[in-house]
Structure 1
Amino acid sequence: MSGEENGKPPSASTGPKGRILPADSYVSTDPAVPVKLRIAKEGLAALDPLSVPDLMDRTVRDHPDHPAMVFRNAQKHWQTVTYREYRERVHHMAKVFIKLGLEPLHTVAVLAFNSPEWFVSELSAIHAGGIITGVYTTNSAESTQHVLESSRAQIVVVDDAKQMEKILSIRSNLPNLKAVIQTMPPYAPYVKREDGFYRWSELEEMNVDDVEEEYKNRLANIAINQCCCLVYTSGTVGNPKGVMLSHDSLTWDSYSIGKRLHQIRYAEEVLVSFLPLSHVAAQMVDIFLTLQFACTVYFADKDAMKGTLLNTLQEAKPTRMLAVPRVYEKIQEKMLAVGAQSGAAKKLVAGWAKSVTLQHHLNAMEGKPTNSWQYRLVKNFILSKVKDALGLSRCLTLATAAAPMDRETKKYFMSLDMPINEAFGMSESSGAHSLTAPDSYNFDTIGKPLGGCETKIDKPDERGHGEICMRGRHILMGYIGEEAKTREALDDEGWLHSGDVGYVDEAGFIYITGRIKELIITAGGENIPPVHVENLVKNELPFVSNAFLVGDKRKFLTMLITLKTQMNLDTGAPKDELTPETIAALKEFGVEYGKLSEIHAAGPCPKVLKAIQDGIDRANKKAISNAQKIQKFALLTADFSVPGGELGPTLKVKRNVVVANNTDIIEKFYA
């Protein structure tokens, strides 16, 4: 089934940057080998293919003086770059890359926080006939080396001396690396003093007249059906794989995403860039969707996830926002903590307002009459102030991606008149494959496929549940240099096997019920999706940060529990101090603790263990079967984190790492 939608195709130039090379297959693992494009006869999938340089030319032609990027300069003042200036920077840096030794179909890697330099590096690499890839700033030197080797990186762009030191530690292992560029001061001491190390500012002044003709040739030789972007999967097993994406995948999928968004408007949208651009969702939205629809992008600072994001939102007042579920959860936790300090009257009014709003949306979802006058009253006089305080007064779309969002978090934001739209996809599908929409909202679905994207359920059981498969112009070319793994992901008919189990209802909505690799199969043969059981527990125990289900090949289910503690804002490591929410919850159980270590020193504290057990008992009453009931649990001494290895860069739990780190505890469950 497909999600075809009608939309006015963007007008495109047909200049020398828009050629399509002959190809024999839809699959390639070699950047030099082009692929066939899956162009349909009608609908969005029938749009004319477009190269990234042509997309930029079109946007500059139509909106040359519109603000493209807004960032804080060295004086901490907002500075604006127009689309005309944006393209000038891209052209110049593309020539710089060529002069520094970038060869066609080789890679520029960026190891940096979001910035105008990140955007310019991406588009400059592509304009120069090269390939762009991002490296997570949290990557170790070893994993960084793997990405640079696999991607055939010849230039690396970093933002600070810390990342520069990381590259210096592995440079001797990278014979093909020709240049390392640092964008922000303070600079590493050897930058500008040793060959191959550069400051971005000095390259902005470099004379590039001598490569002008070569640059024109590179532009003329760009092919829409060749690789221009590598996105490395944040897989939990083995080294990450390099997903090859073509010009067509990037330009087509970004347009298809935009057409699904509610009332998207050319040259009127504002977004804030803060999610890691190494992730496909952030790259697709922040760079390509904004270029597609001439949006204005504000850049959050490096401390965005330490608390400054709110300041940027309040100043930028975005019209669209994309965040991972954990960001919304943090906003929810903060607002609940503030609400807990309010007086009785204020709590009463706030509770009534949220109840009215939630019921309004629930009725609308179910096609029932809505209480319009009460909703309008609440919307205009109460919730408008909440949106203003969050900087979201103009926001038409709140979206989430990269991990499943808890139903209760969705309901909370809906009660604030801010429904969150959930996107489904993966690096291999250029990001989004489906997206929920305001006119067809449902808590349990991940929406319908985007226009031109096909979905099928592979090997469905008697209920119609099977593996979700995807096909379309947004699907990867292949994994770079990984023929066997590419064939595992793509079948002979071009279907990408997602690894997610789910079904599609009669209306075309997609539902996910679990991950094939994450499904727990008990010794009794029961298939159990862990996330569903984990969310049941977390909903009963709001002070629990992670509820990790164990039981694969075991006789019964057990659980590892972590409490919400404060985080070290510099390292991302969990601290011993409990969050205000956890402290307040424990007081309700008759105990007062400020630190996790104090709870463990008390035995662990019997009252805390009883509170957790009571919550698990309540969750067990909602279990689908006896096999899905939790029999034992353990309270861990620290929360999961990126530095601890339990969480990936997008805060997904690495299940194999959690199991390996807690083997002794798990074995005691079953002794």
Structure 2
Amino acid sequence: MAARTLQEPSARTLQVGSGWRREAADAAAVECLSFTMGESWDRSKVAPADDLWTTRRDGVVRLRVEQTGPGSEPPLTMHQLFRQTVQRYGDRPALATRRDGRWETITYLQYYQDCRAAAKGFLKLGLEPFHGVGIMGFNCMEWFISDIAAIMAGGFAVGIYTTNSPEACQYVADNCEANVLLVENHRQLAKILQVQDQLPHLKAIIQYHDELKEKRPNLYTWKELMQLGSDVQDSLLDEIIASQKANQCCTLIYTSGTTGNSKGVMLSHDNLTWTSKSIGKMLGLDDQEVVVSYLPLSHIAAQIVDIWIPLTFGGMTYFADPDALKGSLVTTLQEARPTSFLGVPRVWEKIQEKMKAAGAKSSLIQRKVAAWAKGIGLHASYSQMNGNNCVPWGYTLANILVFRRVSAALGLDRCTKCITSAAPITKDTLEYFMSLKMPLLEIYGMSECTGPQTVSLPSSFRIMSCGKDLLGCKTRIDKPDEDGNGEICFWGRHIFMGYLNMKEKTEEALDEEGWLHSGDLGKQDQEGFLYITGRIKELIITAGGENIPPIPIEDRVKEEVPIISNAMLIGDKRKFLSMLLTLKCNTDGETGEPQDELTPEAVKLCQQLGSRATRVSDVIGSKDPAVYKAIQEGVERVNRRAVSNAQRVQKWTILSKDFSVLGGELGPTMKLKRPVVSKMYREEIDGFYKE
């Protein structure tokens, strides 16, 4: 089938369609920007609504505003927030990117002006109200500007994972009825061109980095986009901005699809602006905040931390290089010296592995000093956690010799908030960084609550807990069992509007009272700290009817056998539990594909066990007695801690390749895609249960 030719922009694209609301008539109204605590609301910025949820793209929802406290903050649109920041910090640097070895910055005023220019370009290209602007590429200024410009122009900002297949890109772009798609380079462009004829709403594609390899109708460069709207009147854009309501959708976050088709999570202006302010206040942020942007921006965590929090408080965002996770991230951290740093567990695990590998090459004296200091650091961190500010003897010397040097080497010497989120993290990794006096603060939440629900603070955290309720929000444990475990439910201004065009899925997520059901199992202690104990949809129900959360067992096996990279428990509707295991191996620097070579840490572990294996195939090919014995002994230690015989792992096997995003076993945030793995390794799984 021949590729469909996109419509050329015409004069009609400059007209305000019937979908635009016209309550505010002129640009002067836009300058009546916002309200502060103590002032009355700008009621024109909230549309009347009775319901707490909607699935309509142009729908509105009733905001969950409280009478007092953090939940009573007056609602703001994204533009109101941005203009507030420009008024306060207009000449301050907002974004920094490295070009030709030098950092280039733009101020908040320049940032705002660029967003307006891009928004007018989108209007010129025919962006319609409540239609998507898809963005697919690594973190950069153009990504941020496109996101905000899409909202300014009345559309939806829609991040698309760079790892998506052409079919997955088509699903997202079609679902959000994208009028415009932005791609980083030709590799991403090629995906869109493959499915272009299946995107009836698409009017233009912009490739914002690299030269175009060929000229096509309605394919533009970034420079062309920024010039396209030069003849669009500011008054037109201002009218669109002035018509926007805080309780309307402005951003779609597509779930990673670990349990089925991706869902478009509808987030309102108020979801983004209120949540960013609330978590920032809880963390004690100010205009000195510095972050490094490197995690996928199609995920809500990265958007909140990289885009919205700095924009709320006047902070600064540095962009990492595209190969950040292949080794260059530390260089960026050393130059930016962030005041807070978010890493998914796998990022922290990689840092841990590299530091251990480097430590193994140190002299005997250096290793002994490091071990001594880390013992003191772990003691000091536990004391801090328990509210005891007294540091152990020798702490000052350990700080000078080890802690300061490590944090400086990582570029985290100014970082007061090392954050982990998006997936479970092991106790081993948490204690490792505690021993370096860099406690990792867990934040728990999901796209459907605009990111955070519970937050750990430097002054208030518990190991293996994900913290206390976000200011202005509530947590309820639904139907707790005798141990206090039940489904975790959320309430607050951060709760999403609904899933786009998915009424049944929305009704599954939100109960009649408006509580968001997370699908996660957990419990709260008497101090209000939340602990995640499993996931309802991931619960294994054995043939004997035993309900077993897999993650705690998988984490214990990985802790007991450090050579293991990933573990997946099997046993749903089966007579006993079994487990798929992968070994720690190197990955391709370009693609992220797992290689056959074991990591230096894994090779060292093999040597300690008496094995000469240096490759995964070495271990599997000979069923290496030393490695297999170590794994079996580790599994047996885990089994001895099992609460019942049904929770004992009876069989296991090592897979020839580690799980990865490229392979499809892991989602973009490194979450395990259990249905995918079960299908891929059906033969191995069935082999466990053959008589």
TM score, norm. by length of structure 1: 0.95
Distance 2:43 2:185 in 1: 34
Gaps of 5+ in 2: 1-34
Pairwise CA distance, 1:206: 3.3
1:208-246 deviations in Å (ceiling 9; x for gaps): 233333212101111111000000011223210000000
The answer (yes or no) to whether the contact 2:124–2:228 under 8 Å persists in 1 is: no
Residue 372 to residue 598, structure 1, CA distance change in 2 (3 Å): closer
Give SS of 1:206's match. Answer: helix
Matched, 1:242 2:264: yes
- TM-superposed deviation, 1:605: 2.0
CA–CA distance in structure 2, aligned partners of residues 311 and 109 of structure 1: 30
Supply the distance in 2 between the matched residues of 1:421 and 1:381 (Cα, whole angstroms): 24
**Structure 1 residue 12 displacement after superposition:** 11
Are residues 1:110 and 2:132 paired? Answer: no
Q: Deviations over 1:152-186 (max 9, x none)?
A: 11000111000111111111111210110011114
**Separation in 1, partners of 2:312, 2:326:** 31
Q: Residue deviations 1:100-145, cap 9 Å, x none? A: 1111111111011100001000110111111111000000000110
Over 3 Å counting, the alpha-carbon distance change for 1:16 and 1:148 in structure 2 is: farther
Which residue in the other structure is 1:634 paired with? 653
1:17·1:221 contact (CA, 8 Å) conserved in 2? Answer: no
Distance 1:15 1:97, change over 3 A: farther
Q: 1:607 aligns with which of 613, 617, 626?
A: 626
Residue 572 of structure 2 aligns to a residue in which SS? coil
5 Å-filtered alignment, 1:376-387, equals 376-387=396-407
Letter in 2 for 1:82: T
How many residue pairs align between the two structures? 656
Cα separation, 2, equivalents of 1:550 and 1:355: 37
Which position in structure 2 is the counterpart of 1:264?
Answer: 285
Further displaced range: 365-374 or 618-627: 365-374
Matched, 1:30 2:52: no
Q: Is the 8 A contact 1:111 1:163 kept in 2?
A: yes
C-alpha spacing 1:562/1:185, structure 2 compared with 1 (3 Å): same
The corresponding residue for 2:685 is 666
- Name the counterpart of 2:6: none
Q: Does 2:249 correspond to 1:227?
A: yes
Partners of 2:421 and 2:444 within 8 A in 1: yes
Equivalent position SS for 2:658: coil
Which residue is 1:53 aligned to? 79
Shift of 1:77: 1.8
Is 2:380 the partner of 1:355? no
Provide the C-alpha distance between the structure 1 equivalents of 2:483 and 2:377, rounded to a whole number of angstroms: 35
Unaligned runs of 5+ in 1: 1-8
> 2:326 matched to 1:325?
no
User: How far off is 1:372 after superposition?
Assistant: 4.5
Q: Secondary structure at the match of 2:167?
A: helix
CA distance, structure 2, for counterparts of residue 170 and residue 622 of structure 1: 52
1:629-669 per-residue CA deviation (whole Å, 9 max, x = no partner) reads 21111111111111211111111111111111111111221
CA distance in 1: counterparts of 2:432 and 2:538, whole angstroms: 28
Give the RMSD, CA atoms, in angstroms.
1.7
Structure 1 runs (4+) greater than 4 angstroms displaced: 9-18
How far apart are residue 616 of structure 1 and its match? 1.3
Amino acid in the other structure paired with 1:636: L
Q: Is structure 2 residue 197 aligned with structure 1 residue 177?
A: no
C-alpha distance in 2, partners of 1:614/1:459?
37
| 2:237 aligns with one of 196, 205, 215 | 215
Contact 2:539 2:547 (C-alpha < 8 Å) held by counterparts: yes
Please point out which of 85, 96, 99 is paired with 2:121. 96
Question: 1:353–1:382: 8 Å Cα contact kept in structure 2?
Answer: yes
- Does the CA contact (< 8 Å) of 1:106 and 1:154 recur in 2? yes
The equivalent of 2:220 in structure 1 is: 198
Task: Decide whether the 8 Å contact of 2:421 with 2:443 is kept in 1.
Answer: yes
Please show how residues 481-520 of structure 1 align to structure 2 within 5 Å: 481-520=501-540
**Which residue identity is paired with 2:344?**
V
In the alignment, what sits opposite 1:85? Answer: 110
TM-score, normalising length: structure 2: 0.93
- Deviation per CA, 1:423-446, whole angstroms, max 9, x where unpaired? 111110000011111222101211
Matches within 5 A, 1:459-608: 459-602=479-622, 604-608=623-627
Question: Which amino acid in 1 is paired with 2:178?
Answer: A
Q: Distance in 2 between matches of 1:625 and 1:356?
A: 37
1:69 aligns with one of 80, 84, 95 = 95
Please give the per-residue CA displacement for 1:58-107, whole angstroms capped at 9, x wherever unaligned: 0010011111000012x332100110110010111111110111111111
Partner Cα separation in structure 2 for residue 449 and residue 16 of structure 1: 28
Same amino acid, percent of matched pairs: 48
Letter in 2 for 1:523: A
Equivalent position amino acid for 2:417 in 1: T
CA displacement at 1:485 relative to structure 2: 0.8
SS of residue paired to 2:61 = coil
**How far 1:28 sits from its partner (Å)?**
0.7
Shift of 1:477: 0.5
